[in-house]
Structure 1
């Protein structure tokens, strides 16, 4: 019986080739999008789940209250780790101190590589569930050791055994390779970590860490913990809440900030990383929910196509259903037959969708920054795929199956069956729904890109043109500091050279302890602090509002400050230049005020920043390329100077404008994916429109013939057949526009620096949708309009 159903269903598909093509292609595109989004969501939800202790691991975070606003940070004071071990040891199985992901130079003989690494305490190997390919989990107990990822080990040593080999970190720290671990998965917070070295090695050789290793007021490290067995995460977090406050309660300068310690579970690191005023407000989970909705909507569009085309052809197949009922077929059998036809289409569509996914995955992975693949050997994938296909087939085929099987055979066979004036209403509703979803996606995508462009065009307060930065992570930079700068300027390829404690696109240090005339005693100030060399302003292209830049000609500038506009506004200084500011028991004079230099998120207000002259080794070198010289030629000259003075360091530079562009990576990635899904959603909708136009033209062939004989022109016929579709699309625009406005207005509230939603976006989406509609329906309507009316009326 089932074989018979399949044979009949196959014949029906071959009989209506155009509609079969539209159904299968539309469903395949919808299913491909849904499966791609499903793979993406699966990857997002399973971030860091490679770790055997996934449910027991957390980051230690600190919350500090500044002027009623609660800030939340992963930065913690170093002594907090021992406090957790000694006084809260029953809560934790492991407590691991860690330094931040940073670029470091790895050297072995003449081979030199710049790779991201971490300095961590020995228990890190077990906390991170590293799969040790060589060596064991105790490899970091030696304070002069290093663990390499498999990729780095291969790059440095080739096929040779790396164990026991000596290397240099940053050309100054000799270490011995004590282990090689399997690269961590791409879906991991630690995916970029290419080596791990002992925390003690870092503390012993870093002046800042040495100075502040017992300082409760200097938040500079990461702390990770693994809970003891049977300890509840929330209870452990609550128990350590006042662990820092208890230590600093007698220090008025620190206790005033009401420090609070809490745990952020590993399960929330990736999708719930956003905090506002002390509340975990979400993060990437928003995009997971958004794409899940898009996937369902696109699949719904594909199903709508199938239902529309099937019910539209109901009158043609009504006689078939009537004859089958007359010769004894039960309604149940007809329902099964139509569901079989539906499931056959779905199976063919699913097979085509897998092909489309396989072809699209390389591009999708590149855009989405993923490493996704179809899990061919995963039984759960196939169970989900089969269930998914059956569900889609049932949903897509339910309406036509029950609708077609409900016809009364007597009326159908007598020819008295009429579809009724309201029969087309469900189809019209579905078309409106279909285009409403498409228009919402179009408007949303335009606004996402507009927001990105708005933030990208935001004034940054400095010049990024020809500006490169390098991280000074080897002693050679400091040993030849003056000679390096002088020789770079002599090449003619460089306009200016400067140093800074922070990159151009970030502020690495925030500090309190500031006092100034007129300051409210209850105010708890927090400033971004950037140490620079005197040439920094000229190199960056500072734009001064008042006063002057730092200068080597003024010896007093060692106690001078330059403020940005945000700092002046925060301090409420009416005449800031010449003002005296107290900072850490020292007096400083404000010599200049600059326009706000955008160093952090382009979507948020600029922080109040204090610039001072360096009194320590700085981390970043900035070089302004001469605009009169070609970039490649200039870089070659700069590299020659670096080889002369810092031969041990690779010439690894970044253009500041490219680094700044990286701040838009997430939004651009989401925008590109949304654009792709929107384009496919429109394609699916247009396929349905093409099918409906084709059916309508076929259904009204004789009417068109009569109208043409009576004098109707091609334009008249085109208008006749197009009017209904244009009306439906206009209704879709009216429904979609307020929904799209509300959704995107709500989304924009996540950004303090945001664009406005302009009327032209809705006009463009509407005109674009109407233009596409005209193009699609004109293909069939004009074809019908130019058909010889004699051919249409011959059978009458």
Structure 2
């Protein structure tokens, strides 16, 4: 019986090639989208599963209350890490202090590279269960050691054995390689960590660090821990929640105590998917995109299934006699249902095979856009089982309505020629077309709004001139020691306008401080200022805009001068800020006020910030290129001077424009993916419309012939054929526009700096949807209108 089902199904599919092509094309694209989204979701849900102890690893974090608002931070003081290691051994198997992942120069002879890495305590490799390719996880116990990732070991030593070879960090500290570990996958929180150096070595890099080992107010480090077996995370969190506050009290840190701090534990399994906090409560993270793309995948596949159901039911009258004859000679309804399900399953299985080919072709581009390393799981039986179940489910869903509908025809009526589909037979098809375009239009509006939000924020005034600005991370103090000579040599090349040092890049604020006092300050006001230390040339280099007072200058001793941004002036409620005294660790005089510069998140209000002169080596060199010179030529003139003054570091730079653009990378990535899926959803919907228009033109061929004989024009016939489809799309627009407005308005509320929902977005989408509909159905409409009426009026 199954063999007979297959044979008849194959004959029907081959006989109706256009119908089969439209179904296979729609289903295969829908399946490919669902498969891509499924692989993406799998990658997201398996984040950090690379680590064997992922279910026991936690990040120690703190809630801080600032002027009534709770912020959640993972920056913590060093003594807290020591406290957890010494007094809570029964709760934590490991408690590891760590620096932030940042760039450092690694050198082996003349080979110098800049790589991101961490200084961590010796138990880190065991906690993270690093897969060691050479050496052991115990390598960090030697204070003069370093563990390298496989890629960094290859870059430094080529094919030579790196074990016990010398490496110089930041042109200062000599260490030896005691281990090489497998590069961490991209879907891990430590994927950027290309090397690990010992914490004990880090504590010797700066004399000030030894003082911080007992100070609870400096929260500039991270603490990762692994819970002991059979320990409840909530009970441990309750135990340690007040440790920092007690430490601040013992340390007499009044400024630190002004921020009410409560410690908590954030499990590794939630670091990626649930990373956003608002007022002390987890509000989401990447999980919102998992849900969003999951829903898109389901709807796109549903659109493909709708096409199959529509085209199959639309052709029901053509198969009515077949059903009647088969029933008359004894076929049972369940056999007919089985036959129609077999046809849909054959299409689904074939579409699944085509979808795999589509996925393989698209995957390299998809990975580039998504920032992933997704691969098809060929050797995973779960993948094939899911694919089989996927095809089976798709075949059943898409074939269910035609199977039960077609098998319900009464053979007597069909064979007597009195069968009629009925007044409402087309109603389900119309409902499904409306559903298709409701989904497609919603996706179009959503994609436009995402891109508009990104562009709106990109175009936000940043308060300085990004074009032609270059920034470099500096390791060591070689340039600082000879800064004026370095600056003069650069200026003589004509390649630059100005150069400066700074403690933060223009695209980030790396230091925050509190405890500032000024005339008229409310005693209950808690302050927290972004603090940017710099050289006097910074203002001219950045191109910031003064609104009051003057800029820093080397002609005057400005070490006691301070410049405020407008947000700081507003926060401090200063009417005439220039000349005011700011008391901090010493007295500063306000010499100027600048327009707010967007240095942190472009989606948030500018943070109150202060700018002061520093006389020590800082992390950044900022260079304003000469706009009259080609940037490549300018950089070629800068490079030899940089190498002359900083021979221990490679010449590496970043354009501020590019660095600023990275702040939008996540939103742009999501927008591109959503746009891609939207285009495919529109394609699937249009394939369905094309098939439906083809069937309708074929069904009404005689009517069109009669109308042509009676003098109907091609335009009137085109309008006749198109208006029904346009009406359905208009209904879909009436549903989709309010739905899209509701959800996208809610999404925009998560941004404090956001675009408005303009009417033109919905109007443009409505016009676009109608135009797409007309273009899709016009081919069949015009083709039918141009048909010779003599041929269409011939008797069968």
TM-score (norm 2): 0.99
* Structure 1 residues 398 and 208: CA distance shift in structure 2, 3 A: farther
Which runs of structure 2 are paired with 1:309-388 in the superposition (5 Å)? Answer: 309-388=311-390
Cα offset, 1:396, TM superposition: 0.6
1:275 alignment partner, one of 273, 277, 283: 277
Q: Which of 86-95 and 21-30 deviates more? A: 86-95
Deviation at 1:551, TM superposition (A): 1.4
Q: CA deviation at 1:207?
A: 4.2
Contact 1:189 1:270 survives alignment (8 Å)? yes
Residue 571 of structure 2: aligned partner: 570
- d(CA) in 2 for partners of 1:208 and 1:677? 53
Report the 3-state secondary structure (helix = DSSP H, G, I; strand = E; otherwise coil) of the residue aligned with 1:406: coil
- How far, CA to CA, are the matches of 1:716 and 1:293 in structure 2? 41
- 1:81 and 1:642 mapped to 2: Cα distance? 39
1:717 and 1:785 in contact (8 A); partners too = yes
1:398-418, Cα deviation, whole Å (9 max, x unpaired) = 000000001111111111111
CA apart distance, 1:475: 3.8
Which residue among 505, 508, 522 is the counterpart of 1:506?
508
Q: CA deviation at 1:208?
A: 4.5
Q: 2:488 aligned with 1:486, yes or no?
A: yes
Give matches, 1:281-292, under 5 Å. Answer: 281-292=283-294
Q: How does 1:137-286 map to 2 (within 5 A)?
A: 137-249=137-249, 251=252, 252-286=254-288
1:462–1:540 CA contact under 8 A, matched in 2: yes
The total of aligned residue pairs comes to 794
Structure 2 residue runs of 5 or longer lacking an equivalent are none
Q: Does 1:12 align with 2:39?
A: no
- Runs (4+) of structure 1 moved beyond 6 Å? none
- Contact 1:59/1:265 (CA < 8 Å) preserved in 2? yes
Instruction: Return the alpha-carbon distance in structure 1 between the equivalents of residues 723 and 208 of structure 2.
Output: 74
Tell me if structure 2 keeps the 8 A contact 1:172–1:475.
no
Q: Which residue among 459, 465, 484 is the counterpart of 1:457?
A: 459
2:480, 2:616 within 8 Å by CA — same for their partners in 1?
A: no
Is 1:306 the counterpart of 2:340? The answer is: no
> 2-side partners of 1:772 and 1:45: how far apart?
37
SS of aligned partner of 1:54: coil
Q: Deviations over 1:281-317 (max 9, x none)?
A: 1111111110001001100100000000000011111
Deviates more, 1:155-164 or 1:23-32: 155-164
Equivalent residue runs for 1:424-435 within 5 Å: 424-435=426-437
1:122 is paired with a residue of what secondary structure? Answer: coil
5+ residue gaps, structure 1: none
Q: Once the 2 structures are TM-superposed, how far is the Cα of residue 715 of structure 1 from its aligned partner?
A: 1.1
1:614 match? 614
Instruction: For 1:60 and 1:665, locate their aligned partners in 2 and report how far apart those are by CA, in whole Å.
Output: 28
Q: Do 1:455 and 1:603's aligned partners in 2 also have CA atoms closer than 8 Å? A: yes
SS in 1 for 2:374: coil
Separation in 1, partners of 2:482, 2:214: 33
Give the aligned partner of residue 403 of structure 1.
405
Would you say the 8 A contact 2:476–2:617 is kept in 1? Answer: no
SS at match of 1:249: helix
1:238, distance to aligned residue in structure 2 (A):
1.8
Task: Identify the match of residue 521 of structure 2 among 493, 511, 519.
Answer: 519
Give the aligned partner of residue 76 of structure 1: 76
Q: Tell me by how many angstroms 1:26 deviates.
A: 0.2
Equivalent residues of 1:26, 1:687 under 8 A apart: yes
| Matched residue, 1:93 | 93
TM-score normalised by length of structure 1: 0.99
Residue 215 of structure 1: how far off its partner (Å)? 1.2
SS of structure 2 residue aligned to 1:530:
strand
| Contact 1:171/1:648 (8 A) holds in 2 | yes
CA contact under 8 A between 1:171 and 1:475: conserved in structure 2? Answer: no
Per the alignment, in what secondary structure is the counterpart of residue 139 of structure 1? helix
Mapped contact 2:102–2:118 kept (Cα < 8 A): yes
**CA shift for structure 1 position 647:** 2.0
Alpha-carbon separation, structure 2, partners of 1:185 and 1:545: 48
1:85: Cα distance to partner? 1.6
CA RMSD of superposed structures (Å): 1.0
Larger mean CA deviation between 691-700 and 574-583 belongs to: 574-583
Matched position secondary structure for 1:762 = helix
5 Å-filtered alignment, 1:109-128, equals 109-128=109-128
Cα deviation code 1:221-255 (max 9, x no counterpart): 11100000001122212221101112223533322
* Match of residue 393, structure 1, among 395, 398, 423: 395
Separation of aligned partners in 2, 1:395 and 1:21: 19
Give the Cα separation in 2 of the matches to 1:549 and 1:647.
32
> CA offsets per residue over residues 59-114 of structure 1, 9 Å max, x none?
11122111111121111001100111222221100000101111111110111111
CA distance in 1, matches of 2:747, 2:374: 28
